[in-house]
Structure 1
Amino acid sequence: MIPFNKPYLTGKEAHYLYDAVYTGKLSGNGKYTQKCQNFLKEQYGFGKCLLTTSCTDALEMAAILIDIQPGDEVIMPSYTFVSTANAFVLRGAKVVFADSRKDHPGIDEDLLEALINSKTKAIVPVHYAGVACDMDKIMDIANKHNLFVIEDAAQAIDSFYTGKDGIKRALGSIGHLAAFSFHETKNIIAGEGGMLAINDPQFEKRAEIIWEKGTNRSAFFRGEVDKYGWVDMGSSFLPSELISSFLWAQIENIQDIQKVRVEHWNQYYDGLNEWVTKQEIQVPKIPDSATNNAHMFYIVCKDGEQRAEILNKLKSNDIYAVFHYLSLHTSPFYAEKHDGRHLPVTDHYSECLIRLPMYYELEDTQIEKIIQILTSS
């Protein structure tokens, strides 16, 4: 049996968990929290980094930081996980869904400006499969209309975008704020876990307060105030040292993890190249401006019938591939709140996309088996 995902352990997780337990600091913002945050900031050029218990929490912090109020509008793709929308719906915002690109499930940047009005507060691009949206175009639109950009970089750790200025920047370092996931299905994991990157300095001080349940406790422990108290709204977004210590073992091995995942991705791509052309199936396209962090390998079938046949064929051979997001604009919760626009490209991905098994310990022979089964008549 070949599962869709298998969490990878580097071998140091238990050691760091033991160390965290026996140093007597289990609550958050201890040694391992600081190690993770400092490394990610320095390695990828993010602004202030704050680990969170999930990417969902990081997005909710972002919604608070940009002061989302009832009636505000936030533009995002419909082809995304529900957390992208929930973070803003919880604050009373109206979500305005944009269609996806025909060559990639990411948001169609050319449709954004027509969706902006006086109520628009932010654009939330999702870097699907870790592949960059056109951030130059998005930031230009946001700057023109005085909007915030919050990158949903849940899948995008160690992925980059090269702008028209020729500078290569890490995804999550470009927008005002960015949210990452370390869920067990991601490239580096903590079981559950996430991070908020604060790239606009105006949000740094308040982000730390929101992160610490609305208190200035972090400032107190640094000796900046003589006592701490409730100074703003907030919640329990800060993860324990157990989560951070587990994550540190993953971060230490990120380059090895990435190397192996890219090798898997390339094996899929090369092995399926002729077959997808014959079957009129779309494979991932990596724009010249983007890098590939090999978060996933997906195929897009020509229709739902073809997808069902392929999924059944794989399952009958004990290979567990999955479809991905259902269009949020047609969801039971939001369909009546959506403005009625047809989003055909989003619906096509919802009906036709398949994610193939992708994890560190996936063996070359297993990938060859998947390719052989897919390409056999």
Structure 2
Amino acid sequence: MEKIPFNKPHLTGKETHYIYDAVNAGKISGNGKYTKLCQDYLKERYSFRKCLLTTSCTDALEMAALLIDIKPGDEVIMPSYTFVSTANAFVLRGAKIIFADSREDHPGIDEDSIEALITSKTKAIVPVHYAGVACDMDKIMALADKYDLFVIEDAAQAIESFYTGKDGIKRALGSIGHLAAFSFHETKNIISGEGGMLAINDPQFMAKAEIIWEKGTNRSAFFRGEVDKYGWVAVGSSFLPSEIIAAFLWAQLENLDDIQTKRLQHWNKYHEGLKEWAMENDIRLPGIPDFATNNAHMFYLVCKDLEQRNVVIDNLKSNGILAVFHYLSLHKSPFYLDQHDGRNLVNADRYTDCVVRLPFFYELEKDAINFIKNELYEAVKNI
């Protein structure tokens, strides 16, 4: 059993209290007190026009695909280096996925490669803010405007992260595209076990999003007294989470600033302790572009090759430290290999082979980070 796990869910202390309160109030199905508290808080803090809690980020992405009316034959551009949920949400509606390569200096989508992938069938661009670090949203939104496309931000890792555009305005990730999906999975900064959120920034989707969220009914409008009865008015599903999930999330949101402060301290300690070693061993540390902020979602290394990556992971594991690799390029996946157009996505494959994610969680102690650092020093000596 490892001495230092990769992740450890952080509890603020109020989670079970709020869950008890929700249960004791007799309302544990969705869209109650705690759902509203969370949604109002997130909308206000990040300037979303509307947001709806979901049972997962996957569900939020699936809602987005329904909202923009993805149909068989539509094309959706996204990075190959991402989690399968990013693609599945659109494949479920019949879309063809057009995979883009990653940036050379960051695992996020190569913004300059997108325009060449746009065709008359393109419906949307789905940038993924990898490690909570912003894609260049000015470039992406300009393409969307030029070609009349939707932008759906996969902000699964991007809570409390921001983008500063050429206009000098600092905007929260997830507030820029037409729609955005967030995750509150136990590996994220703010957690509820499973859980997610859809942010709606384009007014045309606000009413429809609520209907899809409520299983295709106008039930929410009914409870607000806007209609005298409710019924089935559109395609939808059961996307909203229970009050138990929302109550847990509320305890986390109340402590968001404390959580972020601690995570940034850990991130900076890793960076300071490893930057010289990384340069000496042809290893890259996370980069933060000038237009982006760092929300300390993860700390990763980009090794020089697959051999070095495997030595690092194996050496850490043998010393009780669980470090892990990350995504496998989706364009080379067994499911989609035959459907990919054959382009060689060099950077996506390099990150597949070379990324190592180090243990990262709220309770990670300074001594543990120093131990990990020293074992990394030793690991590379063996190559």
Q: Report the equivalent of 1:309.
A: 311
Task: Name the CA distance, whole Å, in 2 between partners of 1:14 and 1:53.
Answer: 19
1:226 is aligned to 228
Letter in 1 for 2:197: M
Following superposition, the deviation at residue 46 of structure 1 comes to 1.1
Q: 2:327 is matched with which residue?
A: 325
The secondary structure found in structure 1 opposite 2:5 is coil
Name the amino acid aligned to 2:157: Q
The corresponding residue for 2:62 is 60
Letter aligned with residue 107 of structure 1: I
The answer for the alignment partner of 2:339 in structure 1 is 337
Q: Give the residue type in structure 1 aligned to 2:34.
A: Y
Distance 1:4 1:234 in 2: 36
Equivalent residue number for residue 262 of structure 1 = 264
Q: Number of paired residues?
A: 377
Provide the C-alpha distance between the structure 2 equivalents of 1:276 and 1:165, rounded to a whole number of angstroms. Answer: 35
- Matching of residue 251 in structure 1 with residue 253 in structure 2: yes
What is the percent sequence identity of the aligned residues? 75
- 1:299 to partner: Cα distance: 0.2
Q: Tell me which amino acid in the other structure corresponds to 2:53.
A: L
How much has 1:106 moved relative to structure 2? Answer: 0.1
Deviation of 1:44 after TM superposition, in Å, equals 0.7
1:150 aligns with 2:152: yes
Alpha-carbon shift at residue 240 of structure 1 (Å)? 0.4
Shift of 1:357: 0.3
Q: Deviations over 1:250-298 (max 9, x none)?
A: 0000000000000000000000011100110011000111000000000
SS at match of 1:359: coil
Hey, what's the Cα distance between the residues in 1 that align with 2:61 and 2:287?
27
**1:360 maps to which of 352, 362, 369:** 362
Equivalent residue, structure 2, for 1:15: 17
Question: 1:288-319 CA deviation, whole Å, 9 max, x = no partner?
Answer: 11000000000000000000100011001000
Paired residue secondary structure (2:340): coil
- State how far apart, in whole Å, the 2-side matches of 1:225 and 1:50 are: 20
Alpha-carbon distance between aligned partners in 2 of 1:277 and 1:94, rounded to the nearest angstrom: 40
Report SS of the residue matched to 1:315: helix
Question: Which amino acid in structure 1 is aligned with residue 50 of structure 2?
Answer: K
Q: Which residue of 2 aligns with 1:190?
A: 192
Partner secondary structure for residue 122 of structure 1: strand
Please list the CA deviations of residues 169-223 of structure 1 after superposition, one character each: whole Å capped at 9, or x if unmatched.
Answer: 0000000000000000000000000000000000000000000000000000001
> Which residue pairs with 1:347 in the alignment?
349
Residue ranges of structure 2 left out of the alignment (5+ in a row): none
- Structure 1 residue ranges, 4+ long, deviating more than 2 angstroms after superposition: none
SS in 2 for 1:336: helix
Rounded Cα–Cα distance in structure 2 between residues aligned with 1:92 and 1:184: 30
1:164 is matched with: 166
Q: Deviation digits for residues 94-115 of structure 1, max 9, x if unmatched? A: 0000000010000000000000
- SS of the equivalent of 2:309 reads helix
Give, in whole Å, the separation in 1 of the partners of 2:18 and 2:250: 8
User: In the alignment, what sits opposite 2:137?
Assistant: 135
SS of the residue 2:317 aligns to: helix
Q: Counterpart of 2:364 in structure 1: which amino acid?
A: L
For 2:338, what is the secondary structure of its paired residue?
coil
Counterpart of 2:103, as a letter, is R
Q: Please give the alpha-carbon distance, in whole angstroms, between the structure 2 residues aligned to 1:253 and 1:177.
A: 26
Distance in 2 separating the partners of 1:228 and 1:346? 47
Which one-letter code corresponds to 2:128 in the other structure? V
d(CA) in 2 for partners of 1:327 and 1:71?
Answer: 22
Aligned residue number for residue 83 of structure 2? 81
Question: Structure 2: how far apart are the matches of 1:362 and 1:51?
Answer: 29
* Displacement of 1:82: 0.2
Cα distance, 1:47 vs. partner? 1.5
